[in-house]
Structure 1
Amino acid sequence: MSLNKLLAAMCACAVISSGFGMMTANAAPEISMNAKIAAFNQVHYRYAQVKDVNVFYREAGDPSNPTVLLLHGFPTSSFMYRNLIPILSKRYHVLAPDLPGFGLTESPPQGQYTYSFENLSNTIDQFTQVLGLKTYALQVFDYGAPVGWRLAVKHPERVTAIVSQNGNAYVEGLSDGWAPVKKYWEDPSQANRDALRAVLDVAAIKDQYQHGTPDPSVIAPETYLMDAAHVGQPANAQIQLDLFRDYKANVDMYPQLQQYFRDHQPHLLAVWGKNDAIFIPPGAEAFKRDLKHADVRFFDTGHFALETHLDQIGADILEFLDRTVKRN
């Protein structure tokens, strides 16, 4: 059985079991408040058809509460938020979709869908409309940042707050490790494209997870093994290489994004692994240049800060949302 089929089967079992629980609860003459809270805290695994993309997403929390939209990055999926969702869903409605080309989202092949950050953002924008979201707070990480930034620039009235976990918005945040990718931007030759394939290897993805962590043994190995198995598939590898090339469009839009920050002054919390070798601390500090009340906090870890500092970051995010997002 392939990794995707195995993951789909696991999620289907979770949906079926949660469905039986809901049927049992509905059959009862009364549902206690504790039972209602437990039902809302249950994470559900769903799909939403968004034009030609069948978007997989995780959902938890009371839909009458303010919504938080969690956008993952490369090379992972909504799985990276598996432990944060139960923390946030106690007080918020939480949605975490898999971007096209990642996780369990069923996406068209190359040629039938344009794998660019603009198009990924369009799909997620349409996803929010399919689910009927009027407003939402954004949590962005890595690739999720340029997707979320486009949502904010396009719909500033919908974004209630922003949490950036190593989600870059400034050239100062790009480390020297971007040199091979920049070379590909300048010369999109086959040789420069092929040179980036090593980034998709298990060893490189494992290093993304472990680099900068004081104790690499706390990183669950299934994280980088599942990511590598997915992005390393031949068809998906081509998608990832397309996105490497298109990342230049994100850097090009930084001035527009920074103007959005200055004009709209959204509430923003940056929670940043200070040892990140991909998006370095000056990128987090730069938020203060355009946002008067930017709250920037560093943690002694690397790129995947939630894998090592979940409790502290989760508490900080809750405190920030409680302070900035209006409740019904």
Structure 2
Amino acid sequence: MRDAVTYRSVDVDGVDVFYREAGPEDGPVVLLLHGFPSASHMFRDLIPRLADRYRVIASDLPGFGQSAMPDRSEFDYTFDNVARVIDRFTEVVGLDRFAVYVFDYGAPTGFRLAAAHPERIAAIISQNGNAYEEGLSDGWAPIRAYWKDRSAANREALRAFLAPETTVWQYTHGTPDPASVSPDGYTLDNHYLARAGADEVQLDLFGDYGTNVDLYPSFHAYFRAHTPPLLAVWGRNDPFFLPAGAEAFTRDNPNAQVRLLDTGHFALETHAGEIAEAIRDFLATVEF
């Protein structure tokens, strides 16, 4: 069956990268990139809704999910390095041209790939995947403080973002009905966060997130120069990435469309069907 999901891992320059895949081998490719603190399982409801037409591939970022979490003495947990691994992953599995779906951490990862290899990017779907200062809410204040002052106290203050109850809150905040959010996703995310060493990996990435903001102007330059077809489908009640971040894409890219949904950060948990329909309509006009 074309929509049957397979689960594989591949060695990417010494880093074991897990990915799930479905759809026809010769179909147009859609690469799905997850965010914090999740993994490719966040796409479990989306993949079957696209796989009849598209070859859908969702990888786990290094340090997340079923991908390897190398020791911090062997792997520097920066977004440049995460993007480098995923860039090589696309080459190892033979993705020459693809649409990319970016969410949360997947956005600075995917935008790095797009800026480095614009010829490979057929289209971009940004689901609460930010690239603009106005998209960052006040909720980033403790993380911004750590960018400016790498003190032990500022690092320790960020552990609140790793607490199990915070993960649940990220999934349920801003949803019309929290009871509609399955516990499967946040329970699995909390399992991964509880692994030995995972906390320090995540704190390293919090500290490095400022490099993504520094790159925003280069991302904007990419949007202006290449005007990729772009669909920003956004949970309007996201406590971290504001709707202004979605609307801002239209400033630099005349081919950007914006669709705001009445839900929160993990919009797929409540609106997978609606998002899939929007993606299918959008990709139907894209040249792969």
Pick the TM interval, shorter chain.
over 0.9
Number of residue equivalences:
288
Partner of 2:4: 42
Partner residue in 2 for 1:307: 269
User: For 1:85-96, what aligned pairs fall within 5 Å after superposition?
Assistant: 85-96=47-58
Instruction: For 1:153-302, list aligned pairs within 5 A.
Output: 153-302=115-264
The alignment partner of 1:69 has SS state of strand
**CA distance in 2: counterparts of 1:106 and 1:188, whole angstroms:** 26
Shift in Å at residue 235 of structure 1? 0.2
CA contact (8 A) 1:52 1:107 kept: no
Alpha-carbon distance between aligned partners in 2 of 1:160 and 1:290, rounded to the nearest angstrom: 17
Task: Tell me how far apart the structure 2 counterparts of residues 68 and 96 of structure 1 sit (CA, whole Å).
Answer: 8
User: How many percent of aligned residue pairs carry the same amino acid?
Assistant: 55
Q: Give the AA of the match of 1:145.
A: A
Question: 2:138 and 2:161 mapped to 1: Cα distance?
Answer: 15
In structure 2, the partner of 1:325 is 287
Deviation at 1:224, TM superposition (A): 1.0
SS at match of 1:114: coil
- Give the corresponding residue for 1:108: 70
What do residues 120-162 of structure 1 show as CA deviations (whole Å, max 9, x unaligned)?
0000011011111111110000000000000000000000000
- Check the 8 A contact 1:211/1:277 in 2, yes or no: yes
| Letter paired with 2:229 | H
User: Which residue type is aligned with residue 244 of structure 1?
Assistant: F
Which of the pair is proportionally richer in helix?
Answer: 1
SS in 1 for 2:38: coil
Rounded to whole Å, the distance in 2 between the matches of 1:283 and 1:107 is 31
TM-score (norm 1): 0.87
Structure 1 counterpart of 2:163, one-letter code: D
Following TM superposition, the consecutive aligned residue runs of length 4 or more in structure 1 with deviations greater than 3 angstroms are none
Q: CA RMSD in A?
A: 0.8
- Cα deviation for residue 247 of structure 1 reads 0.2
What is the CA–CA distance in structure 2 between the aligned matches of 1:256 and 1:232, rounded to whole Å? 35
Unaligned regions of 5+ residues in structure 1, if any? 1-37
Q: Which runs of 5+ in 2 are unaligned?
A: none
Q: Deviations over 1:9-55 (max 9, x none)?
A: xxxxxxxxxxxxxxxxxxxxxxxxxxxxx2x2110000111011111
1:162-197 C-alpha deviation (Å, 9 max, x unpaired): 000000000000000000000000001010000000
Query: What SS is found at the alignment partner of 1:262?
Result: helix
Give the aligned partner of residue 11 of structure 1.
none
Distance 2:188 2:156 in 1: 22
